[in-house]
Amino acid sequence: MKKLELKQKNSEELSKNLIELKKDLMKLNSQRSTGTVPENPGNIKKFRRTIARIYTILNKKQTEVKNEKK
Q: Residue 29 — very low, low, confident or very high, per pLDDT cuts 50/70/90? A: very high
Summarize the confidence of residues 7-32 as an average pLDDT.
94
The percentage of the chain sitting over the pLDDT mark of 90, rounded to a whole number, equals: 66
pLDDT of residue 65: 85
Q: What is the pLDDT of residues 37-63, one digit of tens each?
A: 888 889 999 999 999 999 999 999 999
Tell me the torsion sign for CA atoms 31, 33, 54, 5.
negative
pLDDT value at residue 28: 93
pLDDT for residue 58:
94
What residue type is 70 in one-letter code?
K
Burial of residue 54 (CB within 10 Å: 0-12, 13-18, 19+) is buried
Kindly list the domain boundaries of the chain, sorted by start residue.
Answer: 3-69
Task: Report in angstroms the alpha-carbon separations of 5 from 10, 12, 31, 44, 53.
Answer: 10, 14, 29, 20, 11
The CATH number of the structural domain formed by 3-69 is 1.10.287.310
